[in-house]
Amino acid sequence: MRVVLFGPPGAGKGTQAKAISDRFGIPHLSTGDMLRAARVAGTDIGRKAAEAMDKGSLVPDDVMVGVIEERTRAPDCKNGFLLDGFPRTEGQADALAAMLTRNSSKIDAVVSLDVPDDLLLDRLVGRWTCPKDGSSYHEVNLRPRKVGVCDLCETPLVQRPDDKADAIKHRLNVFHQQTDPLKRRYEREGLLRGVRGVGSPDEVRSRIQQALGA
């Protein structure tokens, strides 16, 4: 199964991506992880990605697709993969479709986690992150055992600049501007699986599995 996972900031993509990956036995391909791995591997595509990253620029779509193409040729992707964070624009969707066609492959489903903006704002404003291991906490919904300290490594927690209210509203606006057209596109193609992202992680996971025909 080859799946694309959509969701606005705070929708719970990370949690649900792991659940989908485990349930269907397919690797979770995060664009950030892929870029870092390509950089470390030192391939031609990896060097092009690193050059853009070092300049603080967005990685060009053709380079990003090249990174994805390299990664999806790995043996663990033989039975499918879960794409998280790509595509985000119509141009990226076109490039992804062309890549899959070259490899005689296709996307089987696009899962869209749907959560109201006001709830997303509440979720993100209270989010704190461990700068060492990336663990996330929430001052209401998921408090650390010790205030302000990571449960796993005892590193002081920080709040990311993009988790401030004004920044969150901007991120949500950008998401809707870029991704709503993609949702309509994949709906026309019969691939979109809209999933209500409100409730406990287990409830959302169950809805996703039903949407994917598990």
- 23 belongs to the catalytic site: no
Tell which residue, 207, 121, 131, has the closest CA to residue 165: 121
CA distances from 175 to 147, 172, 205 (A): 32, 5, 22
- 184 belongs to the catalytic site: no
- 171 belongs to the catalytic site: yes
**Residues in Cβ contact with 77 at an 8 Å cutoff, skipping those fewer than 6 apart:** 26, 27, 29, 71
Q: Sign of torsion, CA 67 71 72 74? A: positive
**Which residue of the set 2, 23, 88, 183 is catalytic?**
88
Integer Cα distance of 100 and 78 in angstroms: 13
**Which residue of the set 2, 23, 36, 171 is catalytic?**
171
Question: Are the C-beta atoms of residues 111 and 208 closer than 8 Å to each other?
Answer: yes
3-state SS assignment for residue 6: strand
- 127 belongs to the catalytic site: yes
DSSP code at position 164:
S
For residue 149, list its beta bridge partners.
146, 156
**Which residue of the set 13, 48, 123, 205 is catalytic?**
13
**Which residue of the set 127, 193, 205, 207 is catalytic?**
127
Q: CA 156: distance to chain centroid?
A: 25
**Which residue of the set 160, 164, 184, 196 is catalytic?**
160
Integer Cα distance of 197 and 146 in angstroms: 29
Q: Which residues are catalytic?
A: 13, 88, 127, 160, 171
